[in-house]
């Protein structure tokens, strides 16, 4: 009997654990928001975070976008009819990059690069009592460590997404014109005519949301790290997992808000 019930017990336990985790995320998020509104603000930490999250992520974002845009152009070319191909390829590359692939890929890259490093850094600080030391030096760790990274990510990841969109479209453009023999001027006109303000807005809003999720997960798991090197490892792994899943879920939610009407 027990063996029969075991899977249900497991599901039940995991569901409870998940629910309590969601609750703790929510509290952490609320605390972060409330600290954003009260001084002091740490400008230096904010600028460092902008640099780390934004500038240093540019190469990986650029690479991801250009290959994806190029591959997308090839796929669509292969799958569409010979007559409409000149307009279909640029349109689908633009829509695909701006609406979905740009934000999601940049979000996941930021989760891999930024979330993991935030989590590992803060978890190490926790394990080596640096977080305790901050508190005793009258500095709120949430204000000093979490708020600057959170705000920086919300501001900077949309910019990354914008850049990713452009580079992705350029990747498609390059493949189409160099390899498939498209007319460059027509390609550009088809892209520009087809994209709408709403597409671009959704891209940037997604970027802000994903950036916020990525930074917050890194901070949350770092601040709640267990003890020792193992604790740091667990925190890092957990943060990237949570950020990736939440980013994809948020993407679905935002897509349905923007487009499913």
Partner 1 sequence: MITFDNVHKSFGPKKVLQGVNLKIAKGTSMVIIGGSGTGKSVLLKSVLGLVTPEQGTILVDGKDATMGDHDAFLARFGMLFQGGALFDSMPVWQNVAFRLLRGSLKRPKQEAREIAVEKLRRVGLTPDVADLFPSELSGGMQKRVGLARAIAAEPEIIFFDEPTTGLDPIMSGVINDLIREIVTEMGATAMTITHDMTSVRAIADNVAMLHGGVIQWTGPVAQMDASGDPYLTQFISGSADGPIEAVR
Footprint on this chain of partner 1 (rule: CB under 8 A): 40, 42, 125, 128-130, 132-139
Q: Of 52 and 57, which has the nearer Cβ to partner 1? A: 52
Cα(57)–Cα(153) distance, integer angstroms: 11
Cα(17)–Cα(15) distance, integer angstroms: 5
Q: How far is the CB of 139 from partner 1 (least distance, A)?
A: 7
Exposed / middle / buried, residue 41 (Cβ in 10 Å: 0-12, 13-18, 19+): middle
Q: How far is the CB of 134 from partner 1 (least distance, A)?
A: 8
Residue carrying structure tokens 């600057």: 148
Q: How far is the CB of 128 from partner 1 (least distance, A)?
A: 6
Q: How far is the CB of 67 from partner 1 (least distance, A)?
A: 34
Q: Of 85 and 134, which has the nearer Cβ to partner 1? A: 134
Contact 207, 104 (CB under 8 A): no
Q: How far is the CB of 242 from partner 1 (least distance, A)?
A: 24
Angle at 251 between CA 241 and CA 84, to 5 degrees: 125
If we measure between CA atoms, which residue out of 227, 231, 57 comes closest to residue 157?
Answer: 57
Q: How far is the CB of 243 from partner 1 (least distance, A)?
A: 22
φ, ψ for residue 31 (rounded to 5)? Answer: -60, -45
Q: How far is the CB of 133 from partner 1 (least distance, A)?
A: 4
In the chain, alpha helices (H): 2-36, 43-53, 58-79, 85-95, 102-110, 116-127, 130-136, 141, 147-174, 184-194, 197-223, 228-259
Q: Of 47 and 192, which has the nearer Cβ to partner 1? A: 47
Q: Of 106 and 125, which has the nearer Cβ to partner 1? A: 125
Exposed / middle / buried, residue 115 (Cβ in 10 Å: 0-12, 13-18, 19+): buried
Q: Of 42 and 194, which has the nearer Cβ to partner 1? A: 42
Q: Of 132 and 193, which has the nearer Cβ to partner 1? A: 132
Q: How far is the CB of 110 from partner 1 (least distance, A)?
A: 21
What residues contact residue 211 under an 8 Å CB cut-off, 6+ apart? Answer: 53, 107, 110, 153, 154, 155, 156, 157, 158, 160
Q: Of 128 and 179, which has the nearer Cβ to partner 1? A: 128
Q: Of 206 and 224, which has the nearer Cβ to partner 1? A: 224
């Amino acid at each position: 009997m027990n063996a029969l019930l075991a899977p249900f017990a497991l599901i039940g336990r995991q569901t409870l654990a998940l629910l309590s985790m969601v609750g703790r995320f929510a509290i952490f998020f609320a605390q972060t928001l409330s600290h954003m509104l009260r001084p002091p603000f740490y400008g230096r930490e904010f600028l460092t975070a902008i640099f780390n999250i934004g500038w240093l992520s540019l190469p990986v974002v650029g690479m991801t976008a250009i290959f994806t845009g190029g591959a997308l152009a090839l796929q669509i070319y292969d799958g569409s009819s010979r007559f409409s191909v000149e307009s279909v390829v640029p349109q689908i590359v633009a829509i695909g990059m701006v609406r979905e692939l740009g934000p999601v890929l940049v979000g996941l890259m930021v989760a891999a690069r930024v979330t993991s490093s935030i989590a590992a850094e803060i978890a190490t600080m926790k394990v080596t009592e640096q977080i305790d030391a901050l508190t005793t030096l009258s500095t709120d760790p949430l204000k000093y460590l979490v708020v600057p990274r959170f705000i920086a990510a919300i501001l900077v990841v949309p910019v990354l997404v914008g850049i990713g969109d452009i580079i992705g479209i350029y990747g498609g453009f390059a493949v189409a014109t160099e390899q498939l023999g498209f007319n460059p001027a027509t390609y550009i006109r088809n892209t520009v005519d087809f994209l709408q303000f709403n597409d671009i807005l959704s891209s940037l809003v997604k970027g802000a949301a994903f950036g916020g999720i990525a930074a917050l997960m890194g901070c949350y798991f770092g601040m709640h790290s267990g003890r020792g090197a193992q604790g740091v490892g667990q925190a890092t792994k957990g943060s990237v997992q949570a950020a990736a899943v939440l980013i994809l879920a948020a993407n679905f939610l935002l897509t349905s808000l923007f487009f499913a009407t």
